[in-house]
Homo-oligomer: A and B are copies of this chain.
Amino acid sequence: MPATKTELFKTKDQRLAALARVLSHPARVAILKTLAKKNECICGEIVDVLPLAQATVSQHLKELKSLGLIKGQIDGPRSCYCIDRQALNECIDDLRSFFEELQ
């Protein structure tokens, strides 16, 4: 029965919810903070910082990337990640205007 009725809501609300969803795990919050601090990181550095297995971290990175918040580029045998500043700013704006609507 429960086939997630997400599509029945307004596009804006869906988008905001999707953004909130990627921030809804402390690992992803920590990844963003780490990337912000070091500007860019190879995957292994992030794995070292988090209390999770490499496969799990890779999965979290994938989610951040699929929402566009981070970019990843291959660097030899490594993967180098960084925050997509522009996408981040758009997300911040979305959240900001949501909160303004609430106030």
Q: Provide the residues of chain B in CB contact with A16, threshold 8 Å.
A: 23, 26, 29
Contact (Cβ within 8 A) B17 A101:
no
**Which DSSP category, helix, strand, loop or mixed, fits chain A's interface?**
helix
Number of chain copies forming the complex: 2
A27 within 8 A of B: yes
State the CA gap A14–B8 with chains docked (Å): 30
Question: Residues on A close to B: CB < 8 A?
Answer: 5-6, 8-10, 13-14, 16-18, 20-21, 23-30, 32-33, 36, 51-52, 83, 85, 88, 92, 95, 98-99, 101-103
Q: What are 12 A-B contacts defined by CB distance under 8 Å?
A: A5-B52, A9-B30, A10-B30, A13-B29, A13-B33, A14-B26, A16-B23, A17-B26, A18-B24, A21-B24, A36-B101, A92-B99
